[in-house]
Structure 1
């Protein structure tokens, strides 16, 4: 996430599990997805800037990653319910009651199934047909809160992009690298920016920002980020769980970076288009 952005989610002082990577001039720490020199090229030429840390795949169990994907794929169905859960966190309420009124029987069944799969995030999930409500309790542990208030989307988008890059890498025999939760600091250790996802394909770097909440509207900040790190605008992608197709189209036109929501295969198509526009150039 970009530094100092006011989000609807409340993250408190929670920080994801991270490990040191490298600063400019140091050897990169190998990761499972590293095929080149790592993130050094992303900040090459920028004075007094270092990569402070990067998220580690090893800390995320496969089942947690699959849950993140399932939540993302059901975004249109549950995004407003997840927003309500954020509000319960904000108000300090553990027990929740979510109305499913207006949902079809099939949609209700799908929602109930998803919430039942959210073990460790919510507890004692029960559906009451007479009230058309889904009741339960939030798990008020740091990892659970972090996941529900945005990390699930970052993980799901990361895995989706990684899958696209793997296919393109095989097809075009090109190398790639991908990292999540990249923290960039100055030489004094002061945090400058956080990138949800940074990846390289065929020696070109791209940055991806994920927004799972309702209230993001600072469209200019992302474009300014690209200027700061010498990344031209069309190497940036904003993934927004709430944005409409028409609004995404307007932002792309005026701000010159890519924007997508989570409907269908929009994310895969947008990443492929962004990468292939450079590859074919």
Structure 2
């Protein structure tokens, strides 16, 4: 087991995964953000590796990607920042990004470096399922990295079961077929969440896209194992002068 497995073995309801872009709001904010998340109630930390064309992300996270890139963030710098992180951070850490910069970095080197600094899981929305299964799966397994796939309300049952079989750690249930930070009502997707729950999949299910406050978090958790918050947290940090205080206030508004 890695830390993601251990988390779900201990807690399988109302799991809160919080996303922040590496190098945002400032180049050296990453570890400070992780510390604040750990101290204020997050269960998982998802770190976005900034990219110039983040297709799955809405305008808020796109902007955070642009700011992080302007700040000088790169995969190499991120790994440097994470080198000592396991001395103080026990949260499971997931890296989310896109294939182009990772292939430029070198996928095998990326997986080895991620394992070395204590990363637990990877989300790559633009890595096709077939290529993962036939080319890359063994590499991620070799480095004890859980690989998390996304499903949407339009994903057919047969494909959901195939994705579930290939995924590890958890299944990322996109609340709607749009981008992160969308304003579509989570409550409208309750039948979709119930359908996933009723399929008795092997992986826990976390809901992402559109989770922004206590109400949407509770709605997502009603029929799944938890939820992922990204854009709303990015907004909370946008003009922050104190990451610890801003994170505490934001997470209290979600979980209190």
Instruction: Flag whether TM exceeds 0.5 (same fold).
Output: no
Q: Return the structure number with greater helix share.
A: 2
* TM-score, structure 2 normalization: 0.30
Higher relative contact order (CA 8 A, sep 6+): 2
Q: Return the structure number with greater strand share.
A: 1
Larger radius of gyration: 1
* TM-score, structure 1 normalization: 0.28
